[in-house]
Chain A
């Protein structure tokens, strides 16, 4: 087993740079530069080069095997963040026999291998590192801290219990086991299904948090959509001109609105265009707008939304710098009412994020939907639980496998163990 090392913090100048070493020779390797170190603790040490010259004074953290991120022996040098210092230290480490540069993600892989993290936590960690917004961070922390694993454990336990009860009626039909296990099984299955459905719905929202919500600005030509977009984005992303028909296609600007990652779409003004290119642009824009999470319908004074209004959509009258409005009015030019609009957008989207659960990825959602399908099939069979015990059991097994794919593994032995601890089997 190699001992690996790498710069753990971002490249470039910074106050602190952390170099992490993980593996059986981690401490010994670092001691070559620092002198004796404790098995598990923190020390302040001079860091010396091969010729004995001083490189830096650094905080050294040592972790003993089993009590570190990777599960192996780990030593970390918290150096002053100069690229020169970091370079020297990495070169020194690279020349020690038995040590090598870590590959991308290798520390995490070792953590996974040593059972310090489960698969979902690894994904959560990746997302945590990628998190750009507060909502993304909160989400990632929830997953990284193992919340998904805990949830999956609970579901698994309930499903195994259900499976065990059904299996007991199958494999021990000629022994003293209760024949009617339906009430307990039905109760367990219903409870799991309800929770899972909630979580699955939450995933869609969570995906949005990771990828960003889509908000489309729609309305007739020249109503001020591009102006609004520019104001929201704080720069001239869209081309604004006074003439109708400027925005040909769809302009997307990724931004952070009130802590939420949002992609705002500026679409071509909706009208019957003579220009074929413009017409295509309009059709594309319409399709994309309808698929977005939220639409802002901009109207002229006295006008009406030209696109279908969906639940949560916001209608605003534009150009109130020129004329007043009796509804929500904004001016992209002066900024009047824009803060209020942003606030409304963020409230609407946040309400949806409140329903976010713990699972974050599409694969989690697919696994849960699969499990729900199987559980529904099982619930439908409960009135015939005796006659259809075999296919009922099969559906339960399939559901368990899906839940399983969220984090871990389940074995027939678990089901048998559950049976034997509950029933006295011994013919």
Chain B
């Protein structure tokens, strides 16, 4: 089959691949999405949920840049919960249970309808390299596709091996085959590869569950959606069930540990520090009497239940035993056993902050292949890789996201600077500027940038511009007012009435003040809409902290401005230890700030590098 010449080829139709292809196409270049199975596009391999703490922030940011995950999740969402609702906005994370079929359907629609995006069915088995540059791919049937850049997003398919107990077979996902030839090609580049593992629980038939005695968890009354463009849920809303493991469950598991793929020694890959499998939980926290299990419906028209919290790689018969020991699941039927999957990933320190492989020009990597876990982490990387692949094809400079302005930036910086020793999952605590990087202000942080880069199209831009103007205007109006402390205290705000006057914005930054209280003192402000009021309040609440953080951010930016040339020589700097030299050569930091975050970096070593940099700068001829 003859295909047209492409600018960018994306291999893989998972979360990373879809965002990558869509992002590249939005910037106006010609994109091909190559996938083994069309029905696999938009599939959720594991937990039928999107978002959470940290993860929800990533989805908001993807949406702020006009990516697809947020919109699709909103369409498919059947239970929405804002986590940490009672805590400050900086740590609130939107989360939704999704109907698998709706998610897939909506994602496929986005991909099919995306202008400039062509889907190619088949297996990409090799890269086409000419003069050391990637200039396309080779398909299993021998045909070649040409492009200027390639984005590889193969997820868990690289030499994926599925384990159930002591039975294992190759697979990228249950029922789908792995990519072995591409893995061999990557080997050939001499890239640092390691193995990771991740797990999934057995799927249960909801009709065989006794829900009567179980606690139910409904969604929020006032659901918070992902996309800045969404207004209400589009699917019927449901509740999740909650149950617990017990002594009997734990006993069964303990007795059969030797038959678990992980504990039986069949898996070499490294798992996370936390406990993805029920075996881990039982072993590591032996005195915990019970563990929570969330029974999550996989779809409105689907009886499948995803029991979140009991991932396992125990043999099928043991799974049946321990599942049936759980309250409510005494007669549960397992539709599909849980399994562990082991797969290759590439050490992300081999990547630039644009997610390009330093040693293989024209090749970008995104998603689980870089050692991350989670749909959201994969999608965010996909967006960045797709954007930069498109820019490469147009001979534009790559875009680096900074950890000072986005969680996307935090994640990529963590990956390319520190590498991974366990599957990388986003948490809000990873962001030192958490108070500035909130889920509610993702659009304020990123949408303008997205517009400049060609990622943000008109619909979103108009929506955002209107909101930004309204916000700015409201801020100005609020700032013009000045209230005495006495007046404010009179409204019930907790403030010493003898203190100095506050402007409207300052008054709003007091933790227990509300816009309504201030509007009582200034009725003229009553016409400001609820949305804007809420946003103003959130922004004001953190104003002093953001100011403080801005100082730290400024010094970080200074370090990030100290560019280290790509040919900088670390060996031969007197006083720089061999160990650090090795790490520096492996990571090849782009800036001094980047270098500072390398594990084991010392202040004196930084001084040495900085001194050498300055000397080089002085020596450069005018």
Chain A interface residues toward B at CB < 8 A: 1-2, 109-110, 112-115, 119, 167, 170-176, 386-391, 393-394, 397-398, 411-413, 415-417, 420-421, 424-427
Contacts and interface: CB of A to CB of B under 8 A. Distances in A.
Contact of A426 (B311, B418, B427, B511): B311
Contacts of A420: 273-274
Which of B84, B87, B308, B604 gathers the greatest number of chain A CB atoms within 10 Å? B87
A109 B575 contact: yes
A173 B273 contact: no
A175 B95 CA distance: 14
A119 B603 contact: yes
B511 A388 contact: yes
A417 B308 CA distance: 23
Given A390-B91, A424-B285, A110 B575 contact: yes
Contact of B275 (A112, A115, A398, A426): A426
Given A1-B574, A424-B285, A175 B292 contact: yes
B52 A174 contact: yes
Given A412-B430, A421-B273, A426-B276, 15 more contacts: A1-B575, A109-B575, A170-B428, A171-B54, A171-B427, A172-B53, A176-B292, A388-B88, A390-B87, A390-B91, A391-B435, A391-B545, A393-B434, A416-B427, A417-B273
B5 interface: no
Contact of B577 (A2, A114, A397): A114
Given A424-B284, A426-B309, A389 B91 contact: yes
A390 B603 contact: no
Interface in B581-619: 599, 602-605, 608
A390 B435 contact: yes
A329 to B, nearest CB: 53
Interface in B176-215: none
Contacts of A389: 84, 87-88, 91
A394 B545 contact: yes
A427 B308 contact: yes
A386 B87 contact: yes
A53 to B, nearest CB: 33
Given A171-B427, A397-B432, A427-B308, A113 B53 contact: no
Given A113-B575, A412-B429, A427-B294, A394 B274 contact: no
B575 A170 contact: no
Top 9 A-B pairs, shortest CB-CB distance: A426-B275, A390-B88, A425-B274, A424-B285, A390-B90, A420-B273, A171-B427, A167-B429, A390-B91
30 contacts: A1-B574, A1-B575, A109-B575, A112-B602, A113-B575, A113-B602, A115-B602, A119-B603, A167-B429, A171-B429, A172-B53, A176-B291, A176-B292, A388-B511, A393-B429, A397-B432, A398-B548, A411-B599, A412-B430, A412-B432, A417-B273, A420-B273, A420-B274, A424-B281, A424-B284, A424-B285, A426-B274, A426-B291, A426-B311, A427-B309
B273 A112 contact: no
A263 to B, nearest CB: 34
Main secondary structure of the interface of A (DSSP, over half): helix
B447 interface: no
Interface string B262-295: 0000000000011111001100110010011010
A412 B280 CA distance: 23
A3 to B, nearest CB: 11
A176 B91 CA distance: 18
Contact of B83 (A110, A173, A397, A415): A173
Contacts, number: 114
Contacts of A170: 53, 84, 87, 91, 428-429
Contacts of B87: 170, 173, 386-390
Interface in B406-434: 418, 427-430, 432, 434
B86 interface: yes
Contacts of A112: 602, 604
Contacts of B52: 174
A171 B53 CA distance: 6
B576 interface: yes
B288 A424 contact: yes
Nearest to B427: A171
Interface in B528-562: 542, 545, 548
Nearest to B599: A411
B277 A426 contact: yes
A172 B434 CA distance: 16
B86 A387 contact: yes
A176 B290 CA distance: 10
Contacts of B95: 174
A386 B86 contact: yes
Contacts of A398: 548
A398 B544 CA distance: 14
A425 B427 CA distance: 12
Given A109-B575, A424-B285, A424-B291, A391 B88 contact: yes
Which of A113, A389, A421, A427 gathers the greatest number of chain B CB atoms within 10 Å? A427
Nearest to A23: B574
Given A173-B84, A386-B86, A426-B276, A113 B429 contact: no
Contacts of B576: 113
Interface string B37-53: 00000000000000011
A396 to B, nearest CB: 11
Contacts of A415: 429
Contacts of B435: 390-391, 394
Contacts of A2: 574
Which of A390, A397, A411, A420 gathers the greatest number of chain B CB atoms within 10 Å? A390
Contact of B88 (A167, A387, A421, A424): A387
Nearest to A421: B273
Nearest to A71: B577
Interface in B66-114: 81, 83-84, 86-91, 95
Contacts of B294: 427
Contacts of A416: 273, 427, 429-430
Contacts of B284: 424
B558 to A, nearest CB: 17
A228 to B, nearest CB: 48
Which of A1, A119, A388, A398 gathers the greatest number of chain B CB atoms within 10 Å? A1
Nearest to A169: B87
B577 A113 contact: yes
A176 B604 CA distance: 43
Nearest to B429: A167
B419 to A, nearest CB: 12
Contact of A109 (B81, B418, B604): B604
Contacts of A167: 427, 429
A391 B291 CA distance: 30
Nearest to A112: B604
Contacts of B311: 426
A416 B426 CA distance: 11
A415 B430 CA distance: 9
B502 to A, nearest CB: 19
Contacts of B292: 175-176, 427
B538 to A, nearest CB: 11
Contacts of B54: 171
A420 B277 CA distance: 14
B53 A173 contact: yes
B603 A424 contact: no
Which of B84, B308, B428, B605 gathers the greatest number of chain A CB atoms within 10 Å? B84
B83 A113 contact: no
Nearest to B596: A409
A359 B428 CA distance: 34
Contacts of B274: 420, 424-426
A387 B575 CA distance: 49
B604 A424 contact: no
Nearest to A172: B53
Nearest to B435: A394
A167 B91 CA distance: 10
A424 B277 CA distance: 11
A398 B427 CA distance: 19
Contacts of A390: 87-91, 434-435
